[in-house]
Amino acid sequence: MSRLDDLKKRAVDEIEAHRDQLVELSLRIHANPETAFREAKAAGWLTDYLEAEGFAVERGICQIGTAFRASYGSGRPRVAFLAEYDALAGIGHGCGHNIIAMASLGAAIATKAIVPEAGGTAVVIGTPAEEAAGGKVLMASRGAFDDLDVAMLVHPGNRDVAVTYALACLELNVEYFGRAAHAAARPEAGINALDALVIAYNSVSALRQHIRDSARIHGIITDGGQAVNVVPEHAAGVFLLRDEDDDYLDELKEKVLACFRAGAEATGARLEYRWGEEARYRAMRSNRALAEAYRRNMEALGRQVQERDSGRSLGSTDMGNVSALVPAIHPTVAIAPPDVPIHTPEFRDVSASQAGHRGLLDAAKAMAMTAVDVLLDADLRRRIEEEFRGGQ
Ligand SMILES: [Zn+2]
C-alpha cells in the first residue's frame, strides 16, 4: 500500500472509531434547533468536543458569539473544514446543517490523526447563520478565511455532486416619496409614490426578457400606501438581484436602477435607494482540481458522484464569499430521494435518519481523504492554487 493510501485508510478508520460520538452529537444538535446567531448550544457542544479531542479552540471569533475556530498542528498547508449548525425558524433542521457540522468535525478529527506524519494544520471554522443572515459574508469581511489553503463543506441533499453552483445575490431597498392628497377631491395636488413603484416593478418585468437566463430579479412591495382615499405619499419595496457571474451582477445594477429612475421620472416622486453591498453574496466558485480529488475519494467509498451539477444553479450561499478568498468546494451528499427537497419537514426527518448518518460519515471520510491528498500531494496543491489564481 502506498503512503497516500495508508494515510487515507488511517483517516477513514479514525472516523469509524468516532462514529458513535459523531452521530450522537448530530442527533443532539438536530433535537435542539437554534436559528441564526443563537446557536449557543450547538457551538458549545462542538467546541467542547473539539477541545476534548485536542484541538486549540477560539470561541466567539469575528465578534460573533457563536462563531469559532479550532486547529491542530502547525504551519501550512492549512486545510479547513467549515461547520454550519443553524436551523430554520419553524421547521428546525430542515436543511440538515447538523450533518454539515458533524461531517466537518469528523473530517478534522481524522486529519488530526495524520497531521503528525503528513505535516500541516487541520482547521475547523464554525460559521453561524447560513440561512438567515449569511454569517460567512460577515466573517469573510473580518478575515476569518484569510490564512487558509483550502476550505471544504459538504451539504446534504438529493444527489452526490462534486461541483455545485450558487448565485451571487445583492439586495436593493427602494423608497419613493410623493405628496399626499385627497384621492377623489384633489388628485391633481398629489404625487403618487405607489404609481412610481408600480411603474418600476413593471419595468423590471420587461427587463427580465432581455437579460441572461442565469439572472434572477425578484421583489416585493412592502409599503403601498395607508388609506385608499389618500394619494400614497410613500411607497417602498425590497428586491434581490442574482446571477452566477459577479461581474454581470454589477451590469444588472445599472439596468435595474434605470427601471426605478423611470418610476420617479414618470410620476415626480423622489427615489431613494440603498444597495446592500456589505451583505452581498458572491457566486460559488468551486475549485475543480479540489472537487475532482473529492469526487475520486467519495467514489472509492462506493458512491456514484456526478462531476458537476447539471441543472441551473438556483439559490445562493455564503460559501460563495469563502470561495472568492480561498480554493473551496461545496459538494452535496445524497441522503434523501429526489422528491424530498431541502427546507421541508420531510428533509428534517431524513437528517436524523440512518440515511442521514451514512451521508454524514461518508462526507467526513471523503473530506478527510481529500485532506490527505492536499497535505501529501504537492502537484495537486499547485494545480489548486493555479486554478484559483487564474480565475481571480
Ligand atoms: Zn443549508
CA of 192 to the centre of ligand 1 (A): 41
State the amino acid at position 290 in one-letter form.
L
Within this chain, do residues 208 and 143 fall inside the same structural domain, yes or no? no
Q: CA–CA separation, 371 vs 79, rounded Å?
A: 7
Within this chain, do residues 139 and 33 fall inside the same structural domain, yes or no? yes
Contact 200, 259 (CB under 8 A): yes
Mean pLDDT of 306-328: 88
CA of 181 to the centre of ligand 1 (A): 48
Residue 392: pLDDT band (50, 70, 90) is low
Q: What is the pLDDT of residues 104-144, one digit of tens each?
A: 999 999 999 999 999 999 999 999 999 877 899 999 999 99
Contact 132, 316 (CB under 8 A): no
CA of 261 to the centre of ligand 1 (A): 36
**Residue 94 reports pLDDT greater than 80:** yes
pLDDT computed for residue 377 by the predictor: 97
CA of 289 to the centre of ligand 1 (A): 24
Within this chain, do residues 267 and 317 fall inside the same structural domain, yes or no? no
Within this chain, do residues 74 and 219 fall inside the same structural domain, yes or no? no
Within this chain, do residues 207 and 300 fall inside the same structural domain, yes or no? no
**Residue 317 reports pLDDT greater than 80:** yes
Domain end residue (candidates: 279, 300, 329): 279
pLDDT computed for residue 309 by the predictor: 83
pLDDT computed for residue 391 by the predictor: 65
∠ CA 70-75-79 to the nearest 5 degrees?
A: 55
CA of 364 to the centre of ligand 1 (A): 17
CA of 134 to the centre of ligand 1 (A): 11
The total of structural domains in the chain comes to: 2
Return the percentage of the chain with pLDDT > 90, whole number: 95
Q: CA–CA separation, 287 vs 256, rounded Å?
A: 31
CA of 172 to the centre of ligand 1 (A): 23
CA of 354 to the centre of ligand 1 (A): 19
Domain harbouring 239, CATH code = 3.30.70.360
Within this chain, do residues 35 and 69 fall inside the same structural domain, yes or no? yes
Domain end residue (candidates: 279, 304, 333): 279
CA of 96 to the centre of ligand 1 (A): 7
CA of 384 to the centre of ligand 1 (A): 25
CA of 232 to the centre of ligand 1 (A): 40
**Residue 170 reports pLDDT greater than 90:** yes
Within this chain, do residues 344 and 290 fall inside the same structural domain, yes or no? yes
Within this chain, do residues 59 and 131 fall inside the same structural domain, yes or no? yes
Mean pLDDT of 165-182: 96
Q: What is the pTM of this model?
A: 0.91
CA of 251 to the centre of ligand 1 (A): 28
Q: CA–CA separation, 202 vs 70, rounded Å?
A: 50
pLDDT computed for residue 267 by the predictor: 98
Contact 158, 340 (CB under 8 A): yes
Residue 82 in 3-state DSSP?
A: strand
Residue 313: pLDDT band (50, 70, 90) is low
CA of 28 to the centre of ligand 1 (A): 18
**Residue 168 reports pLDDT greater than 60:** yes
CA of 227 to the centre of ligand 1 (A): 41
Grid coordinates of 272: 431613494
150-178: burial string, b at 16+ Cβ within 10 Å, e else? bbbbbbbbbbbbbbbbbbbbbbbebbbbb
Ion ligand 1, residue ranges at CB < 5 A: 95
Q: Where are the alpha helices (DSSP H) in 18-151?
A: 19-31, 40-52, 97-118, 135-141
pLDDT computed for residue 250 by the predictor: 96
CA of 85 to the centre of ligand 1 (A): 9
Strands (DSSP E) found in the chain: 56-59, 68-74, 78-83, 120-126, 150-152, 155-157, 161-163, 168-177, 216-223, 234-243, 270-275, 306-308, 328-329, 332-334
CA of 55 to the centre of ligand 1 (A): 26
Within this chain, do residues 8 and 146 fall inside the same structural domain, yes or no? yes
Q: What is the pLDDT of residues 31-83, one digit of tens each?
A: 999 999 999 999 999 999 999 999 999 999 999 999 999 999 999 999 999 99
Grid coordinates of 302: 462506493
Q: What is the pLDDT of residues 188-228, one digit of tens each?
A: 999 999 999 999 999 999 999 999 999 999 999 999 999 99
* Structural domain span for residue 43: 3-166+283-390
CA of 345 to the centre of ligand 1 (A): 14
CA of 130 to the centre of ligand 1 (A): 7
Paired residues of 179 in beta bridges:
191
Q: What is the pLDDT of residues 244-260, one digit of tens each?
A: 999 999 999 999 999 99
CA of 155 to the centre of ligand 1 (A): 7
pLDDT computed for residue 108 by the predictor: 98
CA of 97 to the centre of ligand 1 (A): 6
Residue 271: pLDDT band (50, 70, 90) is very high
CA of 100 to the centre of ligand 1 (A): 8
